[in-house]
Amino acid sequence: MEFFKKLFCRKNKVEVPANVRKLIDALGGINNVLAYNNCVSRLRYDVKDMSLINKDELINLGFKYVIYFEGQNHVQIVYGVGVEEFNKLVKDSVPTLKAEYEKEMKKNRHQKIAQVVEQSKKEEEEAEIPNLRRVKAPTSGRVITLKELNDGVFSEGMVGEGAAIIMEGEDVNGFINIVAPFDGTITMLPANKNQFILKGDFGAEIVVLIGLDSYKLNGIGFKDALPLNSKVLAGEKIMSVNLRKMKEENLDTHLVIAATGDSQYKKLKDLRPEASISHTFMKLEKI
């Protein structure tokens, strides 16, 4: 069966013509083009970001007349006779170009994660710097700033400085583990288990929120949680979370971590773009 799957995939893979590839590159790449339409003489494409379009390259490719609709994120390219056939070539090439893009993004992410892990290992061999504490990632995923979270609370600095991790890497049953970012005591853990406060032995205190709207689950999918007032070591499992269920319920999948007002360590430092569970992904400075 696997042989026939591979054979089927090979036969259905579209070879992307060079002129199509160059056009898409000039339009900012396959991830920048949203819609591929045409009329009797023009290609009519919607894009995410007009600034990514290489206007000079479009001219070099022979497209002398290009109309840009800046406010609508839309571009029209005068093609002439054969526009429908050419646009079909472009649309047929989209799956292959997207697959190439995703493969490259995955490769780049793996490289970034490997760099984060390697850097974290080196730091673990070094002594702690006074007034600066390492914070290990409670889970794995891509890291964003709280500003990018745009939730109106964490993003506005109403809690404290920190970051968010887009959770990923669930096991065959859909679960991920949440581990302690540093040595400390769990001083707050509500009945629905969707958040906790960890007070560090060295004076830091953080709040960890597992999904902005995960309270809607009423604790379903949060299991094996350690009890309130438990003492934990950095990297020790605090609970398991059913990430698959959160996705199925269309709930937010950001793990948010922020310093509290009572923390002696409040200043975010050295935030990394990727988080690998139990490895340092940011630091907090004492102020």
The residue ranges of every structural domain in the chain are 2-104, 131-286
Helix (H) or strand (E) holding 144: strand 141-145
Q: Which two tokens stand for residue 103?
A: 């493969």
Question: Are 55 and 66 within 8 A, CB to CB?
Answer: yes
Mean pLDDT of 118-124: 67
Provide the H-helix boundaries in 13-78.
Answer: 18-26, 55-60
Please report the pLDDT score of residue 12 as a whole number.
Answer: 55
Catalytic: which of 34, 35, 39, 287?
39
What is the percent of the chain with per-residue pLDDT over 70, rounded to a whole number? 90
Please report the pLDDT score of residue 152 as a whole number.
Answer: 93
Residue 193 has pLDDT above 50, yes or no: yes
Find residue 283's DSSP bridge partners: 134, 269
Query: Which region among 113-127, 142-156, 241-255 has the lowest average model confidence (pLDDT)?
Result: 113-127
CATH number among 2.70.70.10, 3.30.70.890, 3.40.50.300, 3.20.20.70, domain 131-286:
2.70.70.10
3-37 tens-digit pLDDT? 444 444 444 567 899 999 999 999 999 999 999 99
116 or 245, which is more confident:
245
CA distance 223 to 17: 51
CA distance 182 to 157: 22
140-154 tens-digit pLDDT? 999 999 999 989 999
267 or 2, which is more confident:
267
CATH superfamily for 2-104 is: Glucose permease domain IIB (3.30.1360.60)
CA distance 277 to 116: 11
Please report the pLDDT score of residue 155 as a whole number.
Answer: 94
Mean pLDDT of the chain: 89
13 or 204, which is more confident:
204
Q: Which two tokens stand for residue 210?
A: 């597992």
Whole-model pTM over 0.85: no
Catalytic annotation present for 9:
no
Residues 6+ apart with CB under 8 A from 52: 27, 28, 29, 32
Please report the pLDDT score of residue 6 as a whole number.
Answer: 47
221-232 tens-digit pLDDT? 999 999 999 999
- Kindly indicate the confidence band of residue 71, based on its pLDDT and cuts at 50, 70 and 90: confident
**What's CA 126's distance to the chain center, in Å?**
29
Question: Are 147 and 164 within 8 A, CB to CB?
Answer: no
